[in-house]
Amino acid sequence: MIFKDLPRQTRRKIKQQADSIGLWVAKTTVSRDQSGQLAAIEDPNALRALQRGFAALVRNDFEPVALRLTESEAAALDAEGHAIPGADCWAGFGLDVDGRASWVTLYACGVGMSVEDEAVNAETLTLERLAAHCNTSGLPDGGFTA
């Protein structure tokens, strides 16, 4: 059943619990560490970012969302050391083809763009990367719930 097919009252109750659901999903999330092995995410800043993102996913009727991360959140989620100095880090949150809550990160720097255009561009690129990640069956790179 698709979330939007649920009765409005049920959807409202689920959305009221978005922060709790986001925290629960964040605590069950795994990602690949620097050696490529699956590992639970335990860093408090990473968990805070994931909770915020998954709560936003719930509030958005489980449709994909992209959020700009703080520097501390980005550093905590960057297990592979892909940070780009001076670039903003964005995270996309959605459900993959197997129904797992999933996330990706993207560093974006809009040289010569206005702040607004840079944000729109980064959000679009993040959601495109998320779509590619979520359309992969199995255990792709990036983060997902176990």
Q: What integer is the mean pLDDT of 77-94? A: 81
Condensed to tens digits (0 to 9), the pLDDT of residues 24-60 reads: 999 998 887 778 788 888 999 999 999 999 999 999 9
Q: Does 141 have pLDDT greater than 60?
A: no
Give the Cα separation of 80 and 115 in Å (integer). 27
Q: What integer is the mean pLDDT of 81-105? A: 86
Q: Does 136 have pLDDT greater than 90?
A: no
Condensed to tens digits (0 to 9), the pLDDT of residues 58-78 reads: 999 999 999 999 989 998 887
pTM of the model: 0.86
pLDDT in the model for residue 99: 85
Q: How is the chain split into domains, by residue range? A: 3-139
Q: Does 131 have pLDDT greater than 80?
A: yes
CB 65 within 8 Å of CB 57: yes
Closest CA to 61 of 109, 15, 122: 15
Dihedral in degrees, nearest 10, Cα atoms 19, 25, 69, 62: -80
